[in-house]
Amino acid sequence: MMMLRISTVGLAAALALSPAPSGAIVGGTTVADGEMPWVAAIYNSASPEAGQFCGGSLVAPRVVVTAAHCITLLLDDTLAQLPVDVLDLKVKVMLGRTRLGGTGGEQIAVARLHRHLSAPINDVAVLVLAEASSIAPVAYARPADAAFFAPGAIATIAGWGATSEGGSGSDRLLKASVSVMTDGRCADVYGPEYNGASMVCAGDPQGGTDTCQGDSGGPLTVAGPGGAPLLAGATSFGRGCGRADSPGVYAEIAAVADFIAQYA
């Protein structure tokens, strides 16, 4: 069964229901302090530890890219199609910190939401922050960068989602390596739910390494020009977490580069 990779635990907290901690990437290793400061935890204003429900990537001082379904589940679907002022929702992002319950980094309110109009085919949204971050953003892919995330490329995933299917884990930011697979591989698994023009397929054929619930919107990066990280995808959905022959599906950033560029 296809599952979106939003944390319903964190979402409940974001909607002012009972909060509880979430976990981290399946099969991941700890991200060192300062290694990926541009990875964002999206949470309600109570605290990142209690309310984290999605991830994201800082691509400009005031712009975080995440999954469109993170917005859809916060808002009425019709409202989610529009630019929305969300200061009253108390949604914030945390940047520059590897522990949800740690100290340091930045916690910045989200001022506006912009969901791609063709979501969920393009499962991408932009969060405009109320103030600029001082953290260096990650570069994001354009159509001309397709060779960097072609099948066979090694990609890095990161997030605070569950460490196992249906499970939970550490509050530390974790990362893992996965292989970009052919569109045909994901089409075999997901059928018409997979769209090769707007999605990237990546995983470990043997299973054991994957994104999971709570990782939605978080990064899939590859080595770009000069070896620097290049944001190629945003965590979208999968069949379970870490199952063999069940790659994860990521919204293709290059396919919506013009949309992101309107804000970034």
Pairing outcome for strands 229-239 and 139-140? parallel
DSSP 27-62: T-EEPPTTTSTTEEEEEETT-HHHHEEEEEEEEETT
Q: Is 179 annotated in the active site?
A: no
- Beta carbons within 8 Å of 263's beta carbon, 6+ residues apart: 60, 62, 63, 114, 126, 128
Residue 165 has a CB neighbour count (10 Å cut-off) of: 16
- Which position has the token pair 């990066």? 221
Q: Is 134 annotated in the active site?
A: no
Catalytic residue among 7, 22, 69, 204: 69
Catalytic residue among 123, 145, 171, 215: 123
Q: Yes or no: say if 126 and 257 are a contact pair by the CB < 8 Å rule.
A: no
Q: What SS3 class is residue 24? A: coil
Q: Is 114 annotated in the active site?
A: no
Alpha helices by DSSP H, listed for the chain, are: 8-14, 48-51, 68-72, 77-80, 183-190, 257-261
Tokens of 201: 């397929």
Catalytic residue set = 69, 123, 216
